Amino acid sequence: MTSGTKKQTTRPQMTRAEQETETEANRLIEQIEAALAAVVMRSVDESDSLEAAADRVERAARDLADGLRELAHERKRAADES
């Protein structure tokens, strides 16, 4: 191998469940970041925005947990079939 040549590894195509789980994980990260921003902001509507942030984080966490479970079942089925 020459110094200008690098070995490339390709990542296999993600399944639908993997893609959805990754999307949900990113959505949870975004909701957590928004919640942290709401914590530092002090406004008249603070309690409402904090409650709304809590609801969004809770929904995103639940969606991610569901996605992870679906992915676990998908991988178990694939392992059982091989």
Residue 56 in domain = yes
Q: Are 54 and 36 in contact (CB under 8 A)?
A: no
Q: Does residue 26 lie within any of the structural domains?
A: yes
Give the residue numbers spanning the domain of 33: 16-81
Residue 1: inside a domain: no
Residue 11 lies in a domain: no
6 or 46, greater pLDDT? 46
Question: Looking at the predicted structure, is the pLDDT value of residue 62 above 60?
Answer: yes
As a whole number of Å, the end-to-end CA separation of the chain is 35
Q: Does residue 8 fall inside a structural domain?
A: no
Exposure of 8 in the CB half-sphere (CA atoms within 13 A): 5
Q: How far is CA 24 from CA 6, 32, 49, 66, 67, in A?
A: 33, 12, 22, 9, 7
The answer to whether residue 4 is domain-embedded is no
| In a domain? residue 9 | no
Is residue 10 included in any domain, yes or no?
no
pTM of the model: 0.77
- Domain count along the chain: 1
* % of the chain at pLDDT higher than 90: 70
